[in-house]
């Protein structure tokens, strides 16, 4: 399979090249030149397999120019092992008539980023060998919480890579801070940075563009690389769980083989839902995709009006991983529906004006597949969590999943209650304990770990050991010793 840019510069690379390079030279995103087709025979063969086996076979369709099926199977077996995903990587849980939840948070950090970040570093490590790269990839990440920890867990002790994560000293929850401060692994470092997320993010961006820093780490046989969600190596593993979920629905008799389902995805950067779209394009029986947003409803407005406009207020919500105004992966959808030339123009407009408008015809075609819905505020998120808990036998959802539950219910009420709805759940409720607890009671303890314990008592559900366990781990990277943003470059070079 060859990979080309969404902006049509004519650049062509292989799968390992796309994964190593991350972004195309014209600023576009890499997409496969052709789409593999899911035949009925292949799909029914997958139904009989385990999650790692399914994932390896699906990934092989996309990466078969550079990777062997044996390599992918070995990597998937490790990434999605019972040890890392106890009870299975992507289970589907029934919560009501024609309503099923795909739980993507059983990995090491209890959030869905693990599904991609457990595997992607292994693909990158192999890509370096396959492209003849002698140097070590030095991954720099600025994080507001979830991504940093998931990246650390994914890249730790992977050959030919090292990783440094920077988080703002203010703006990361107590548990997230402790998760990162206690990170294990011989190739990891973690720093808190004075300031907010933008300070950390700008610091990392400046290093990526700094010729002196690039030359200095090159002297130490390293080159900078990012763990960005626009890398094809992060997107491809996400296609697998939609196909796997469909197999599980068939296996348990929730749908007949070939019967179409609807899918609701809590969306921020548009990566997760784009993977669902790719699965549909491959031939998976998906009828409609519901793009669920929180109060930052830039995508809801886009699917309603055809205007994408990031010039708007930014809201901080109880679903922080969806507090996003630039949904980078939307570019791939534009490419598939409007072509490279139009995509290039729209992206140039977005860069210049923070806004673009698509044609009425294109909007009509997008609406055949996508509906954008949003949950208007935190109160409605909490009510949705509460309603699900009360009506669905005590099913406990996190705040991001709460947004999806709200939007799915609306779609079922207003449009389609006949087809089975698959709702994607992206985090453990215990990752956002205070807000989840607030959905059920007015008494929320000030301490986050006390909130966890109280949530467990109140609901009779178990706190994941991976979260509460950080209290007993050794702190390796002291959160109380932040560095200044202007010290980041020297720190990165010194630690290369
Ligand atoms: C990242 C994230 C999302 C958003 O996913 P995108 O691929 O960015 O659309 C939703 N929920 C949680 C918990 C996340 O960490």
Q: How confident is the model at residue 144 (pLDDT cuts 50, 70, 90)?
A: confident
Query: Does ligand 1 come within 6 angstroms of the Cβ of 146?
Result: yes
Are 381 and 317 in contact by the 8 Å Cβ rule? The answer is yes
Q: Please, what is the average pLDDT of the chain? A: 95
Q: pLDDT for 274-302, tens place per residue?
A: 999 999 999 999 999 999 999 999 999 99
Are 400 and 374 in contact by the 8 Å Cβ rule? The answer is no
Residue in the structure block whose two tokens are 């806004």? 355
Count of CB atoms within 10 A of residue 471's CB? Answer: 10
Query: Does ligand 1 come within 6 angstroms of the Cβ of 158?
Result: no
Tell how far the Cα of 271 is from the centroid of ligand 1, in angstroms. 8
- The pLDDT value recorded for residue 209 is 87
Residue 401 has which token pair?
């999943």
Largest CA distance in the chain: 62
The residue from 20, 25, 98, 113 that is catalytic is 113
With a pLDDT cut of 90, the percent of the chain lying above it is 90
Query: Does ligand 1 come within 6 angstroms of the Cβ of 427?
Result: yes
- The pLDDT value recorded for residue 436 is 98
SS3 labels along 423-492: EEECECHHHHHHHHHHHHCCCCCCCHHHHHHHHHHHHCCCCCHHHHHHHHCCCCCCCCCCECHHHHHHHH
Nearest CA to ligand 1 atom 11: 426
Query: Does ligand 1 come within 6 angstroms of the Cβ of 372?
Result: no
Report CA-CA distances (Å) from 153 to 116, 121, 446: 11, 10, 28
- The pLDDT value recorded for residue 494 is 96
- The pLDDT value recorded for residue 244 is 98
136-142 and 421-425 beta bridge pairing: unpaired
Name the residue of 151, 268, 427 whose CB sits within 8 Å of the most ligand 1 atoms, as the mutation to test its pocket.
268
- 218 pLDDT more than 80: yes
- 174 pLDDT more than 90: no
- 145 pLDDT more than 80: no
Tell how far the Cα of 272 is from the centroid of ligand 1, in angstroms. 7
Which has the closest alpha carbon to 292: 406, 432, 422?
406
Question: How far is the C-alpha of 461 from the C-alpha of 453, rounded, in Å?
Answer: 10
Determine whether 130 is an active site residue.
no
Query: Does ligand 1 come within 6 angstroms of the Cβ of 176?
Result: no
Tell how far the Cα of 266 is from the centroid of ligand 1, in angstroms. 7
Q: pLDDT for 305-315, tens place per residue?
A: 999 999 999 99
Query: Does ligand 1 come within 6 angstroms of the Cβ of 150?
Result: no
Count of CB atoms within 10 A of residue 245's CB? Answer: 25
- The pLDDT value recorded for residue 468 is 92
Tell how far the Cα of 185 is from the centroid of ligand 1, in angstroms. 25
Phi, psi of 373 (to 5 degrees): -130, 155
Query: Does ligand 1 come within 6 angstroms of the Cβ of 14?
Result: no
Tell how far the Cα of 324 is from the centroid of ligand 1, in angstroms. 10
User: Which pTM does this prediction carry?
Assistant: 0.95
Query: Does ligand 1 come within 6 angstroms of the Cβ of 272?
Result: yes
Beta bridge partners of 136: 222
Query: Does ligand 1 come within 6 angstroms of the Cβ of 322?
Result: yes
Q: pLDDT for 76-122, tens place per residue?
A: 999 999 999 999 999 999 999 999 999 999 999 999 999 999 999 99
Q: What burial class does residue 51 get, using C-beta atoms within 10 Å of its C-beta: 0-12 exposed, 13-18 middle, 19+ buried?
A: buried
Name the residue of 103, 108, 153, 269 whose CB sits within 8 Å of the most ligand 1 atoms, as the mutation to test its pocket.
269
Q: How confident is the model at residue 217 (pLDDT cuts 50, 70, 90)?
A: very high
Q: pLDDT for 343-374, tens place per residue?
A: 999 999 999 999 999 999 999 999 999 999 99
Question: How far is the C-alpha of 475 from the C-alpha of 133, rounded, in Å?
Answer: 34
Q: What burial class does residue 350 get, using C-beta atoms within 10 Å of its C-beta: 0-12 exposed, 13-18 middle, 19+ buried?
A: middle
* Mean pLDDT, residues 222-237: 91
Tell how far the Cα of 177 is from the centroid of ligand 1, in angstroms. 19
- 152 pLDDT more than 80: yes
Tell how far the Cα of 102 is from the centroid of ligand 1, in angstroms. 14
Nearest CA to ligand 1 atom 4: 268
Nearest CA to ligand 1 atom 15: 321
Query: Does ligand 1 come within 6 angstroms of the Cβ of 285?
Result: no
């Amino acid at each position: 399979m060859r990979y080309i840019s969404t902006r049509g510069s004519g650049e062509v690379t292989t799968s390992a090249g796309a994964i190593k390079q991350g972004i195309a030279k014209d600023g576009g995103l890499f997409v496969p030149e052709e789409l593999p087709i899911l035949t009925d025979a292949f799909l029914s063969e997958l139904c009989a397999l385990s999650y790692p086996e399914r994932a390896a076979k699906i990934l092989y369709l996309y990466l078969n120019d550079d990777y062997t099926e044996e390599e992918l199977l070995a990597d998937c077996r490790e990434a999605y092992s019972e040890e890392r995903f106890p009870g299975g990587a992507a289970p589907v849980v029934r919560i009501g008539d024609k309503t099923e939840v795909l739980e993507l948070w059983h990995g090491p950090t209890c959030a869905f980023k693990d599904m991609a970040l457990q595997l992607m570093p292994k693909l990158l490590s192999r890509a370096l060998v396959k492209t003849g790269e002698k140097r070590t990839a030095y991954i720099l990440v600025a994080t507001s919480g979830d991504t940093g920890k998931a990246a650390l867990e994914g890249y730790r002790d992977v050959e030919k890579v090292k990783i440094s994560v920077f988080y703002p000293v203010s703006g990361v929850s107590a548990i997230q801070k402790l998760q990162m401060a206690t990170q294990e692994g011989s190739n990891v470092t973690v720093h808190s940075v004075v300031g907010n997320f933008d300070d950390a993010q700008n610091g990392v961006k400046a290093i990526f563009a700094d010729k002196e820093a690039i030359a200095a780490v090159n002297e130490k046989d390293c080159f900078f690389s990012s763990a960005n969600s626009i890398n094809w190596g992060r997107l491809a593993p996400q296609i697998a769980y939609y196909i796997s979920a469909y197999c599980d629905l068939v296996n348990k008799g929730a749908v007949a083989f070939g019967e179409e389902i609807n899918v609701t995805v809590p969306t921020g950067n548009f990566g997760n839902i784009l993977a669902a779209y790719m699965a549909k394009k491959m031939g998976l029986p998906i009828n409609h995709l519901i793009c669920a947003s929180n109060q930052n409803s830039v995508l809801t407005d886009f699917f309603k009006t055809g205007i994408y406009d990031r010039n708007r207020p930014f809201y901080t919500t109880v679903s922080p991983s969806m507090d996003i105004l630039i949904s980078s992966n939307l570019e791939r959808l534009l490419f598939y529906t409007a072509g490279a030339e139009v995509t290039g123009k729209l992206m140039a407009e977005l860069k210049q004006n923070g806004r673009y408008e698509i044609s009425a015809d294109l909007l009509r075609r997008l609406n055949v597949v996508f509906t954008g819905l949003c949950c208007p505020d935190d109160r409605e998120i909490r009510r949705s969590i509460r309603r699900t808990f009360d009506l669905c036998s005590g099913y406990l959802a996190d705040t991001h999943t709460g947004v999806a539950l709200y939007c799915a219910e609306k779609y079922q009420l207003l449009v389609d209650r006949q087809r089975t709805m698959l709702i994607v759940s992206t985090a453990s409720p215990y990752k956002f304990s205070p807000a989840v607890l607030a959905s059920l009671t007015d008494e929320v303890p000030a301490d986050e770990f006390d909130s966890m314990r109280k949530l467990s008592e109140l609901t009779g559900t178990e706190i994941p050991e991976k979260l509460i366990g950080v209290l007993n781990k050794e702190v390796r990277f002291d959160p109380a010793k932040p560095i200044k943003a202007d010290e980041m470059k020297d720190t990165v070079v010194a630690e290369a």
